[in-house]
Amino acid sequence: MRLAPLRRDGLPVAGAVPIPAVTAARTTPHRGTTDERDTDMDRWKTIAIGTAALVTILVATQPLYVVALTLFDYGEAPNGSYATVQTKDVTRFPVADPARQSELTARAARPPGSGLNYSTVVRVPGGDWRTALAATHLRASDDAVLLYGDAAPPGSANGTNATTIDAAAAGESPAETAAALATRGGGADDVSPNNVVVVSSGAPRWALPAAAWSAYSGDPILYANDDGVPDATRRAIDELGASHAYVLAPPSLIGDDALSNLGVEWTRVAGQTPQSHAVEVAEFRDESRDFGWGIHERDKVGYYNFVLVNPGEPAHAVSAANLQWGKAGPVLLVHEDGSLPAVTENYAWQTQPAWFSTPAEGPFNHVFAMGTTDEVSWVSQGRLDYAVEITQYRHQGAGLSPLEAVAAVWAGFSLLGTTFVFAHVRHRIPEANSWTKMVWPLTTLLLGPFGFALYWLAYRGRQVVETEDGPRVLRPYWLRAATATAMGVGFAASTMIATAFLLNYVGIPMVVLDGPLFWLGNAMTVLIVLVYAVAFLVSWLIFHVPMLRDSRGLDTGEAIREGAKLVAVSMTSVSIGMMGGMWGLMMLNLPMMPGDDNILWFGVMVFATLVGFVVAMPVNGRLVRQRRKPGGAL
């Protein structure tokens, strides 16, 4: 009997023959009363629905977990020695005391016994950030190390012939001190091409990026403010013979009117916030005057040491001046609570180095984090450690590689599509059986747009007929095969992915085997075995056995035997496709299997599921032809 398409309320359109009550024939009589059978089946369905809900939550948790890691601070900062706070691409100087910090950075730049000598020791005052900042250019112009207080110079235990400069004795006001330090050599030197850096004397957060460039280039730092340019600053410019000034401050701190009597041409470099300001300084480059880092997106030179500083700790930027020797780089800022600003993180991603043939070819960037985890949080360190790590060129992106972007979009569609299908199948197709209502949201969660399209094609405009096995949706053979495959993928593959995520999160059991079978104890081997075993048992006993009893009228023993055969054939074919797809994706596109804290983990799993679906579809098509699977159940 051929019927019209289902309406919104599940009934056929006007003029069509209504669907009679379901009186599916039972191939084997049930034991016990009808009430007992119904009660027993209700228990089975309750267990299956609970399991399906748990599997859905676990699979959906992985991309949501990645989002949570992206939006919120996480993890515990390590407590212990210097070594415990170091990561692969971020070196931390984990002390808050400026004297100790400057001692550590000086030793890092000029290790005792390395032959990397220095000619000058500059002593800077701990309580005067303006004097300390102005002294940073001596790192380059005088080949100096900068030390706070009585910090010991590198190699001082064996004696040193270095000249000592007391920066605090240079002048009476900040502008005079800066001018005196700038002109202490009597004029322009052979390091800087007659450039000077002008910063605000009243806003250390905006002045900090100047420390790194001055220490690297030797360009002296001078002070100004919104009231005007001090006489000491103008005299220093005249004495140096400087021909250009770079103003590293916004107009709100040093206005254009104040700069009108500077006496030389000037260029302003500024951002909207201290953090974006630091990025602007890092990106700026005036090639004609050899000024600025000029580190832009996709920089091909690479080999930079970025310095991560808390804007509330100007002494840390001065201590980092010792690191501006050799492989140098700009100061970047975190928030005052130590968290990582989006502008800083995005810039790190944009400047991420890339390799073409092998990671050994470089270039390599690095980050120095200044201070304890209170000044620069452990999360900020971890995220930048990941962002600056060298990656394959074709995977490089501004925050997301192409594969990560596809995985993120796919995950978003999967979550939204699953929500829609869950509501739609209950409200628009109320006659659908319990197993159909369970499997389609799971299938859509894994297959994303393909799962959604398959669900839509399976019901949109389809007619329903009453058979001896219950109502069936009329579908072409290929769609019946695809629908039967979706049943296996929805229950089995989702359980495999949920189990894999859970094991990755809590840890994979370790098995140590000696002899030629040692590989059986490999973590990946153990993971595959556990995932397959758990998914097989769940798909077989929790989903297929009650489904066969409910839809085909089998008793428990027959349902167990028939379910084992169907799951073994269908799930094994899905598993072969999934494992092959996963291996191929990792071999061709990924250098290693991503962790569960990476959106690519979800991407790899859904891609593998798609391959598994394609491999399993001919197998399920054969089961449909043999009437072992319906492929048209409502």
Choice among 172-186, 293-307, 526-540 with the minimum mean pLDDT: 293-307
Of 364, 395, 426, the residue at which a domain comes to its end is 395
501, part of any domain: yes
Residue 619 lies in domain: 56-69+413-625
The band of 23, judged by pLDDT with boundaries at 50, 70 and 90, is very low
pLDDT higher than threshold 70 for residue 11: no
The pLDDT confidence band at residue 588, using thresholds 50, 70 and 90, is low
- Quick one: pLDDT at residue 554? 85
Q: Say yes or no: 239 and 361 in one domain.
A: yes
Task: Label residue 79 by pLDDT band (50, 70, 90).
Answer: low
Query: Same domain, yes or no, for 354 and 253?
Result: yes
AA letter at 554: L
Give yes or no for residue 28 having a pLDDT over 50: no
- What is the predicted pLDDT for the residue at 7? 42
Cα-flanking dihedrals φ and ψ of residue 343, to 5°? -65, -35
- Of residues 16 and 600, more confidence is placed in 600
Distance CA 55, CA 51 (A): 6
Are 503 and 58 spatial neighbours (Cβ–Cβ below 8 Å)? no
Note whether residue 303 is domain-resident. Answer: yes
Task: Judge if 354 and 419 occupy the same domain.
Answer: no
Query: How large is the average pLDDT for residues 510-528?
Result: 74
Average confidence (pLDDT) over 11-29: 39
Q: If you ran DSSP here, which 8-state letter would residue 628 be given?
A: S
Residue 552 has pLDDT above 70, yes or no: yes
In the chain, pLDDT over 90 holds for what percent of residues? Answer: 48
- Evaluate if residue 622 carries a pLDDT over 50: yes
Q: Degrees (nearest 5) of the Cα angle 27, 30, 36?
A: 145
In a domain, 551, yes or no: yes
- What digits encode the pLDDT tens for the residues 418-457? 999 999 999 988 888 888 899 999 999 999 999 999 999 9
The last residue of one of the domains, among 368, 395, 422, is 395
Residues 380, 318, single domain; the answer is: yes
Whether the pLDDT of residue 526 is over 90: the answer is no
In a domain, 524, yes or no: yes
Which residue type, as a one-letter code, is found at position 614?
V
In a domain, 161, yes or no: yes
Q: What is the pLDDT of residue 596?
A: 78
Model confidence over 88-144: pLDDT tens digits? 899 999 999 999 999 999 999 988 888 888 889 999 998 899 999 999 999 998 889
What confidence category does residue 591 fall into, taking pLDDT thresholds of 50, 70 and 90?
low
Instruction: Report the percent of the chain where pLDDT is more than 70.
Output: 86
> Is residue 42 in some structural domain?
no
pLDDT tens-digit map of 462-510: 888 888 777 888 999 999 999 999 988 899 899 999 998 888 888 877 7
Q: Inform me whether the pLDDT recorded for 254 exceeds 60.
A: yes
Q: Is 633 among the domain residues?
A: no
Q: Tens digit of pLDDT for each residue in 330-354?
A: 999 999 999 999 999 999 988 888 7
Mean pLDDT over all residues of the chain?
Answer: 84
Query: Which of 297-308 are b and which e, b meaning 16 or more Cβ less than 10 Å from the residue's Cβ?
Result: eebeebebbbbb
Number of domains in the chain: 2
Rg (CA), the chain: 34
DSSP annotation of 596: T
Per-residue confidence (pLDDT) for residue 100, from 0 to 100: 95
pLDDT at position 615 is 93
Q: Same structural domain for residues 546 and 594? A: yes
State yes or no: pLDDT of 24 exceeds 50.
no
- DSSP characters for 129-198? HHHHHHGGGHHHHTTEEEEETTPPPTTGGG----EEEEGGGS-SSHHHHHHHHHTTTSS--SSSSSEEEE
Shared domain check, 136 and 205: yes
Coil, strand or helix: which one is 5?
A: strand
pLDDT at 307: 96
Does residue 438 sit in the same domain as residue 470?
A: yes
Statement to judge: residues 63 and 157 lie in one domain: no
pLDDT exceeds cutoff 70 at 516: yes
> pLDDT, tens digit, for every residue of 196-251?
999 999 999 999 999 999 999 999 999 999 888 999 999 999 999 999 999 999 99
Indicate whether 428 and 325 sit together in one domain: no
Q: 632 lies in a domain?
A: no
pLDDT in tens, 349-407: 888 887 777 777 778 889 999 999 999 999 899 889 988 887 766 555 445 667 788 88
**459 and 329 within one domain:** no
Residues in CB range of 11: below 8 A, 6 or more apart:
18, 19
How many whole angstroms separate alpha carbon 528 and alpha carbon 536? 12
The domain boundary, picked from 360, 395, 430, lies at: 395
The confidence band for 73, taking pLDDT boundaries of 50, 70 and 90, is low
Q: Are residues 229 and 276 in the same domain?
A: yes
Above 70 in pLDDT, residue 297? no
Give yes or no: residues 181 and 259 share one domain: yes
Put simply, whether the predicted model's pTM sits higher than 0.95 gets the answer: no
